[in-house]
Structure 1
Amino acid sequence: MKKSALRERIILTASLLFYKQGYSNTGINQIIEEADIAKSSLYQYFRSKEDLLIAYLSETGESTIQALTAAAQEHSLPESKILGIFEYLEELMHRKDFYGCHFLNMVYELPHDAERIRKEVTHQKDQLRILFREILDPVGKADVANEVYTLFEGALVGHKIYNENWPITAAKNVIRKLL
């Protein structure tokens, strides 16, 4: 197996486990066993469990922004683009394998002083804020990008708490009023 393919298998296995059962509940030995690799293979690519978490967050961050951008690009008007992102989120929330926001799940679970992880999560969240700002800038509404971002995060948290659709519906209603 190529080295990059082995690295990707490790990240994929860890990603699935971190997302489904949490970082703290996932052990290195479980990752090694489920990836069907030698311990030395894991440590060849990742010096620590935290390094593996950073790789997971980085790759997930890139794919998340790509998916949200693609959802926006299906529409032409800024308001429709923003609502398209929220509709994509709504579709995710109905999937059986949706366990909430990858990034918020990690932040909830880790101590406040986990700076490397918090920095990676902040980077991903900043990319989302930038996406909202870029969508709204052509119509002179870039100044409400942070409000839209806050509605997005609130919808994620509300869904995680209630496991119901109303938080996203409420967020979309507010966006219609804002834009």
Structure 2
Amino acid sequence: MDSDDRVVAGRAADGDPQAFEVLVRRYSTLMRVYARSILGMNDEADDVVQEAFVTAWQQLDSLEDLAAVKSWLMRIVSRRSIDRVRARHDHDDIIDYDPPAEAEASPAQAAQTRSLASAVGTALASLPAGQRRCWLLKEVAEYSYREIAADLELPESTVRGLISRARVNMAREMQAWR
């Protein structure tokens, strides 16, 4: 479980189901959050993540840079999610992320958390699609600028600009919440 991605992915590529299980445990939550941010629905997000892992299991041996397995998995889930959006002919991007309240959270804290999540969702929904995707990959998935550029097939300078504008727009939209 503590091995780096290159070692775990190499073992999984050699057909080790336990190594692949480590990858699933390591990245399924991140992939689910990202899929949900694109799809706006939990049930579809779970299906997309499952499909992405099936694809990954079938094609892992074709991955050239095993250390890049995280970005490769995120690229698969991103493309699967976008395909789902296109297939349903519903092109409204709705961000519906409602983080669970902490077990010891008071009702006031829970209400504030829901209010913040709603405000972030509204702010994200107001961003242009390119800014939103870049912001989510940077802030939620914790991708580097280089990984985002590779994933979205954009120049790194464009990614930096999109994220910069997204941060300015998010700060402006979130000003009322403060």
TM range (shorter): 0.3 to 0.5
TM-score (structure 2 length as normaliser): 0.34
**Structure with a larger share of its residues in helix:** 1
TM-score (structure 1 length as normaliser): 0.34
